[in-house]
Amino acid sequence: MKGSRGQNTVEYLMMLAVIVGVILVVGKMFKPQISNIFNQIMGMVSSAASTVAQTDGVR
């Protein structure tokens, strides 16, 4: 019974290592696109914040 538990732990660690590896490879492949999307979102948040600040001063 103990050997089975250790085997399950090793299998889960191997699966975790594969998943982390896939995430790293995909992240490296799409890094430029992710950066552009992040910059676009930051621009939208910034313009929305400035709009709110301008309308808040009108009151």
Render pLDDT for 11-51 as a digit per residue (tens, 0 to 9): 999 999 999 999 999 989 988 898 899 999 999 999 988 88
Q: In the prediction, which pLDDT does 59 show?
A: 53
3-state DSSP call for residue 55? Answer: helix
Question: 24 lies in which domain range?
Answer: 2-58
Residue bearing the bigger pLDDT, 34 or 55: 34
Number of domains in the chain: 1
pLDDT at 4 over 60: yes
Q: In the prediction, which pLDDT does 8 show?
A: 87
Residue bearing the bigger pLDDT, 55 or 35: 35
Cα angle at 37 between 27 and 33, to 5 degrees? Answer: 45
**pTM tops 0.95:** no
